[in-house]
Structure 1
Amino acid sequence: MLLTPPSSPQLTTCLGPEDKLGCLLNDTYRLVSILGCGAYGVVYQAIDIKTNIPYAVKALPKTGLDARQRRFQKREIALHHLASGHPNVVKLERILDSPDCTYVVIEFCPEGDLFSNITEQGRFMGDDLLAQHAFLQLLDAVQYCHSQGIYHRDLKPENILVTNHGSTVKLADFGLATMDCVTSDFGCGSTFYMSPECQQPPTRSYARYASAPNDVWSLGVILVNLTCGRNPWKKASPEDSTFRAFLKDPMFLSSILPISPELNMILRRIFECDPQKRISLQELREAIINCPRLTMPSYNTLPPSPPQSPTYYVDPMDCANVVLPPSPPASPCPRQPFHAQPSDYSLFEPASKQGSSCSSLSTDSGYESEAFYADAGHRLQPIFNFYGNVIPLNDHEKQYYLPPNFVPTVTAY
């Protein structure tokens, strides 16, 4: 009679991200390189050894997570799967389940995100047709998500991927998405892109705001990014002197940005502080299609600095940060990259690439937050999802529903 074999030794150390390189998932996907690391996982580039097609693979670890974190992982995957039927949403190809990780196989976009395409490739700025084409695709993707009851809540260039030399954009990162059309998650997203109502600290326990108009506001900031290469303000709050100047003078943006009068009118409807009066996605789509020009043909038409007025005060430092640089020299190449001055508003500074949070105490410190949350009299450490976004604590009691026929394909191996 053979002796019983000894039990397998327990691993005493955790595998690092590099240790999984070369691994073959489901006899199909070989992990070949690391694309990035989040607070709770790693994104790999993988190759389908049967077709030689590249994919991105998110490795979501199962160990060390509590029930709430696992629930948010499941929600992110489910909402991404539900939205990925649209051609301008990054497609979720497959979910692979192993004892230690859930591997999410998604479409690979080798040209990077919209942020890097604007700041490093010099795309979109100065090319109204390309910017309009990209923005309409993004509008269609968000409109499709809303039709499925999904509200993204973290729309920004870092969460939009680019393919086909800038002619195609795809929405990604559903880490903060929700199916709540009305929410109490104040401070959810990235500060540059939050609507005023999202940034308001809740003064009443029953305070809420609508999710769809908040996405529309974020799209307006992205439209400024595409056309001007910068953000209109740091924060859509009266505390921000540039936003305060915009509230007092609707023509203010056209005095500091190279936008056309037609685009300025569109932005005024997007940046409507009353969410009930804010332009709808369908109206915005029609306005962009019918807009004859997005930007001015020459920077020379702009004043060297924002005009001063005795009716309101603009912080001199903020004005210095948003003023456009001198006109670029004449060049036979119209697609020369635009170089902005160092600025808190410019997309060309690393600090402008924001992390996301779900806290009104967001520190905007990249992929992490030092914010603390009060819950039942206790101080709690923030909980991050895979992307480093803070999971909203007030989602703790929410019951999460999906359509009854929704069954993601999960392959165990």
Structure 2
Amino acid sequence: MRPTAATRTPDFTGLVLDGRYKLTRMLGSGAYGVVYEAIDKKSRVNRHSPSVAVKLISKTTPTHNGFSHTPLEISLHARASKFPNVVTLRRTLDDGEHSILIMDLCPGGSLGDHLVDRGAITDEQMLRTMFLDIVDAVLNLHQDGIYHRDIKPGNVLLGEDGRQVFLADFGMASRIESYNERCGTRAYMPPELLHSKYNQRPSAAHSDVWALGIVLLNMIIGIAPWSRASSSTRKYAEFVHNPRYLIERYQISPGLNKIIRRMLRANPRIRMRLADVRRAIAELDSFFCNEADGGNDDLTQDMPEDGRAAACPRDDGLTGHKPTQGAHAGPSPYTNHGPSKRGETIAEMMRSTLLAEIDILRASRTKPPMLEQRAQDCSAGLSLGLSPYMSAGGRNEGLGVGGVCSRASSGQTSKSSAVVATPEDSEAVVGKREIGQRMRSIVTRVKMKFRNN
């Protein structure tokens, strides 16, 4: 387990900072900082709450690659404090050994602690309001060019009533959308950050959407749905291969299932946009399955050949999550109402899978030294069975072995002439053949899924 700052620093309870802030108790700690509750002796003069949160970040704490992120954290947190649902940074201090952040205290603790102590949030109105407030906070940050990059229940703090939410901890935040290195909490990191084959400067905007999807699931089921988004993790593998996994296991509504699966698409380029997430959650009829719910999700459920979708499963006593009672006020705009969407369903699944497959292919392939091999073949006098080559003057030239060898040795062989010269083993043709095989495999898998159901 990674050591926290609290294990490397003494307990400062009782210490008075700047002759004003008396630390009363430790609230929590992370990799680089320790947070205390403190009493502000001058609160009556400034008309603030007497209690504040004080974060101490040691300047001697080892930092990643020798770079301290604290100045950027302070700068971004101060800039973000103007937004609602973001913990306000009041001021900063420096005692020579620590950078000290004085912030508003959120007496309700963290959302993570709330879920551990009280379990999942089953009140739909409370769930909707709280999650939309978190989304609004992240949306405001993105519009201001700030990317949090460590969204999780532990970094969402609650007001005294346990319903107001405030985004906190900008220790990993950045103004640069593309990642230079991986960071975050593993259970809330998307596949493109966990697997090197995807790791080509991923987008922090996309990863924040993924993390919000995991946070929403966490609020609904009480715990993180899986330890990491990897095919080696059983629960995540089941989620990927079974479009109805969340409906069957946690009795969520088909409309919510569709939203979450769009937020958790493995391919970040087709992941749901944050503004669309907010609109979809605001307009969602129900979070959980009702007996009156026909349960239809046109993009995430495998539908039988006749276009009928399976209804929401009843509580079987195994998940600890009972469906709520009540009927829809009207049809949800996020559900399918007939088999006419089935072709779009297949196309969407194929497009998502294909883009991911092509990304893997591009990342995993290495270019063979084709020109050098052809030069060796030419010098050995091997016949390559060349096709006619159209010269710039418009006349056909029958390229013999010497013609290709002279172009290869002089470094003037173009990609088009290489394809004409050796159509069976050229890089372009081999690449197209591999992609074609993968496409046919994808189509077969999609057809089999629908045929078996």
Question: TM-score per shorter chain, which class?
Answer: 0.5 to 0.7
2:21 — aligned with what?
29
2:68 — aligned with what?
71
Instruction: Call closer, same or farther: CA 1:83–1:326 in 2, change over 3 Å.
Output: closer
**TM superposition shift of 1:78:** 1.6
1:149 — aligned with what?
145
Instruction: Call closer, same or farther: CA 1:265–1:96 in 2, change over 3 Å.
Output: same
Equivalent position amino acid for 1:200 in 2: H
Tell me which protein shows more strand as a share of its residues: 1
Distance 1:92 1:283 in 2: 30
Does residue 103 in structure 1 map to residue 100 in structure 2? yes
Distance 1:196 1:67 in 2: 22
Equivalence map 1:278-297=2 (5 Å): 278-297=271-290
SS of match in other structure, 1:179: coil
Distance 1:170 1:293 in 2: 24
Give TM-score, length-normalised by structure 1: 0.64
Equivalent position amino acid for 1:243 in 2: Y
> Which of 83, 90, 94 is residue 93 of structure 1 equivalent to?
90
SS of match in other structure, 1:120: helix
Cα displacement string for residues 320-357 of structure 1 (whole angstroms, at most 9, x for unaligned residues): xxx613759x9xxxxxxxxxxxxxxxxxxxxxxxxxxx
Equivalent position amino acid for 1:251 in 2: R
Distance 2:175 2:34 in 1: 26
1:61 — aligned with what?
58
Q: Say if 1:227 and 1:295, in contact at 8 Å, map to a contact too.
A: no
SS of match in other structure, 1:102: strand
SS of match in other structure, 1:57: strand
Cα displacement string for residues 241-285 of structure 1 (whole angstroms, at most 9, x for unaligned residues): 332233233222211112011111111211122211111110000
Does residue 256 in structure 1 map to residue 249 in structure 2? yes
Q: Say if 2:193 and 2:202, in contact at 8 Å, map to a contact too.
A: yes
SS of match in other structure, 1:106: strand
Does residue 45 in structure 1 map to residue 41 in structure 2? no
Using CA pairs under 8 Å that are at least 6 residues apart, name the structure with larger relative contact order, 1 or 2: 1
**TM superposition shift of 1:183:** 1.4
Equivalent position amino acid for 2:181 in 1: D
Equivalence map 1:124-143=2 (5 Å): 125-143=121-139
Cα displacement string for residues 135-159 of structure 1 (whole angstroms, at most 9, x for unaligned residues): 0000011011111211111111111
- Runs of 5+ unmatched residues, structure 2: 1-7, 44-48, 296-317, 326-453
Q: Say if 2:40 and 2:51, in contact at 8 Å, map to a contact too.
A: yes
> Which of 236, 254, 259 is residue 229 of structure 2 equivalent to?
236
> Which of 320, 330, 333 is residue 325 of structure 1 equivalent to?
320
**TM superposition shift of 1:202:** 4.8
Out of 136-145 and 158-167, give the one that drifted further.
158-167
SS of match in other structure, 1:220: helix
**TM superposition shift of 1:297:** 4.8
Instruction: Call closer, same or farther: CA 1:70–1:219 in 2, change over 3 Å.
Output: same
Does residue 83 in structure 1 map to residue 75 in structure 2? no
Distance 1:294 1:128 in 2: 7
Instruction: Call closer, same or farther: CA 1:17–1:214 in 2, change over 3 Å.
Output: same
Instruction: Call closer, same or farther: CA 1:108–1:159 in 2, change over 3 Å.
Output: same
Does residue 180 in structure 1 map to residue 176 in structure 2? yes
Instruction: Call closer, same or farther: CA 1:45–1:134 in 2, change over 3 Å.
Output: same
**TM superposition shift of 1:57:** 0.6
SS of match in other structure, 1:247: helix
2:114 — aligned with what?
117
> Which of 208, 216, 223 is residue 223 of structure 1 equivalent to?
216
Q: Say if 2:191 and 2:198, in contact at 8 Å, map to a contact too.
A: no
Distance 1:68 1:197 in 2: 22
2:202 — aligned with what?
209
Identity rate, percent = 36
Instruction: Call closer, same or farther: CA 1:297–1:27 in 2, change over 3 Å.
Output: farther
Distance 2:30 2:321 in 1: 38
2:348 — aligned with what?
none
Equivalent position amino acid for 1:84 in 2: S
Instruction: Call closer, same or farther: CA 1:61–1:192 in 2, change over 3 Å.
Output: closer
Does residue 159 in structure 1 map to residue 152 in structure 2? no
2:167 — aligned with what?
171
Cα displacement string for residues 30-81 of structure 1 (whole angstroms, at most 9, x for unaligned residues): 2222223444443221111122610011122234667965631112222211
**TM superposition shift of 1:82:** 1.7
Instruction: Call closer, same or farther: CA 1:235–1:54 in 2, change over 3 Å.
Output: same
Instruction: Call closer, same or farther: CA 1:37–1:227 in 2, change over 3 Å.
Output: closer
SS of match in other structure, 1:286: helix
Higher radius of gyration, 1 or 2: 2
Equivalent position amino acid for 1:42 in 2: V
SS of match in other structure, 2:146: coil
Distance 2:209 2:64 in 1: 32
SS of match in other structure, 1:166: coil
Q: Say if 1:228 and 1:258, in contact at 8 Å, map to a contact too.
A: no
Distance 2:224 2:23 in 1: 37
Tell me which protein shows more helix as a share of its residues: 2
1:407 — aligned with what?
none
**TM superposition shift of 1:171:** 0.7
Give TM-score, length-normalised by structure 2: 0.59
Query: Number of residues paired by the alignment?
Result: 294
Instruction: Call closer, same or farther: CA 1:141–1:66 in 2, change over 3 Å.
Output: closer
Equivalent position amino acid for 1:27 in 2: G
Distance 2:145 2:137 in 1: 13
- Runs of 5+ unmatched residues, structure 1: 1-14, 303-322, 331-413
Q: Say if 1:232 and 1:253, in contact at 8 Å, map to a contact too.
A: no
Does residue 193 in structure 1 map to residue 185 in structure 2? no
RMSD between superposed Cα atoms in Å = 3.2
Equivalent position amino acid for 1:109 in 2: C
